[in-house]
Structure 1
Amino acid sequence: MTIHKEGFKSIAIATLIFAFLNILSFFFISASAPIVSWIILVVTLGLLLFIISFFRIPNRQMTFGDSQVICPADGKVVVIEEITDEEYFNGKRLQVSIFMSPANVHVNRNPVSGEVVYSKYHKGKYLVAWHPKSSTENERHSVVIRQKNTEILVKQIAGALAKRIINYLKPGMQVKQNEELGFIKFGSRVDVLLPVGTQVNVQIGQMVKGGQTVLAVL
């Protein structure tokens, strides 16, 4: 397991806060109220370990396949439905949405190899990630990857806690399946828009792993 580069600053700040609070606790509380001092140590250590684990990148055997769409994120499948996309396709698409809790790995990966033909950031609200309107009203970043004659849109969506979306893709880039697409800090969701009629390989409520679980077959 490694730590994602996006976490270095957050972990450094959390470590400084942990050290500062426990130094104060040691000098001003431990003598008169040792139990309180121990509680502060345990709680702040737990929070520090949570921050570190949030930015983890576990060692994982990736799944590859030209005809396969691989899950771009860890989490739980919360939506599989036909929608009308008004951002890029201006037509019907099959949407599969993955909700990421704060405990999930939060690196996002390319579901297919191909050329990036669209990449756009949208300001927006911070509705909870499972809200039906979060796909169109929340802060989000959409990218479209073209593989041969098929285009797939991946939408990183901020939630009530996630207020920073990082995306590494720009139009014209050639990307490979399972390489990093971006990162969302502290819980959110990712939508994948597929051609109508695509064979979906997951079910509502299923827990999936980014870079490993086959989302659909083209």
Structure 2
Amino acid sequence: MTHREIVAREGWPFVAFTISLTVALYLTVSYIGLAVGLVLTIFCVYFFRNPERSIAGQKGDIVSPADGRVMDVKTVVEENYVHAKTIRVRIFLSIFNVHINRSPIEGRVEWVNRVSGIYLPAYKDEVSDRNARNYLGIVTDWGKILVVQITGLIARRLVCWVQPGDTLKIGERFGLIRFGSCTEIYLPEDAIILVQPGQKLKGGETVIARFCE
């Protein structure tokens, strides 16, 4: 399944509900209700938008797994999948960002693991260990890379469309997070990082790091 719908199918129930609500509000509250309902419907369509992207990068490039803003870039020991010192790039997604997640590089999915947790605001440092999250471990020609989908205060739903054994192309869609969240990527130490805190990213388009041949 390619998941190329203009509006992600996980958003269809929300859009259908807001359309029904719009009709009900129009019939009961007239034009004010119609306006409120239309705003809610437009927001749902906007939030679940699933735009095509011109996938950037060449062999050895790593693209952003999500739209959003770089919160930090740190060297950390990743203990869940890579089990080694890595460079972590943390990306914050506001409710106005596209919430589709994309594969940062070509590779094979080796590990998927969903972990329950709480729902702290996604910009807090401790969300990596405390919030509900989904791990996606990818084996590449340059070693293991880990992408983590993390819920936030509003985001309560993680969607991952792939499973171990699947192969991913660079920039290929693999899931989404509903309503504001955080995405992390853990890269091998020899990756050359090309982004910095505060920088805005586009999933599948912005090259965030590079491996040397």
Q: TM-score range by the shorter chain?
A: over 0.9
State the distance in 1 between where 2:85 and 2:27 align.
58
Q: Tell me: CA distance 1:105–1:123, structure 2 relative to 1, closer, same or farther (3 Å).
A: same
TM-score by length of 2: 0.92
**Which of 143, 163, 168 does residue 175 from structure 1 map onto?**
168
Query: Bigger radius of gyration, 1 or 2?
Result: 1
**1:137 maps to 2:130:** yes
Name the CA distance, whole Å, in 2 between partners of 1:21 and 1:135. Answer: 41
Q: Give the distance between the partners of 1:2 and 1:81, measured in 2 at CA.
A: 35
Query: Quick one: which amino acid aligns to residue 5 of structure 1?
Result: R
User: Which residue does the alignment assign to 1:33?
Assistant: none
Instruction: Pick from 117, 138, 141 the counterpart of residue 124 of structure 1.
Output: 117
The letter of the residue matching 2:27 is I
Q: Identity across aligned pairs (percent)?
A: 34
Deviations 1:102-157 (A, max 9, x none): 00011100001111111100001101001111011100001111112411100000
Of 95, 104, 110, the match for 2:97: 104
Number of aligned pairs?
Answer: 207
Aligned residue type for 1:135: S
Distance 1:174 1:208 in 2: 24
Gaps of 5+ in 2: none
The residue correspondences of 1:3-14 to structure 2 (distance < 5 A) are 3-14=7-18
Q: Which amino acid aligns with 1:210?
A: G
Residue identity opposite 1:99 in structure 2: F
- Equivalent position amino acid for 1:84 in 2: V
Question: Shift of residue 180 of structure 1?
Answer: 0.8
Task: Give the letter for the 1:15 counterpart.
Answer: I
Shift of 1:44: 2.8
1:158 aligns with 2:154: no
> TM-score, normalised to structure 1's length?
0.90
Moved beyond 3 Å, runs of 4+: none
What residue number does 2:22 align with? 18
Do 2:19 and 2:37's aligned partners in 1 also have CA atoms closer than 8 Å? no
Aligned AA for 2:83?
N
RMSD (Å) for aligned C-alpha atoms:
1.4
Question: Structure 1: 5+ residue runs without aligned partners?
Answer: 27-36
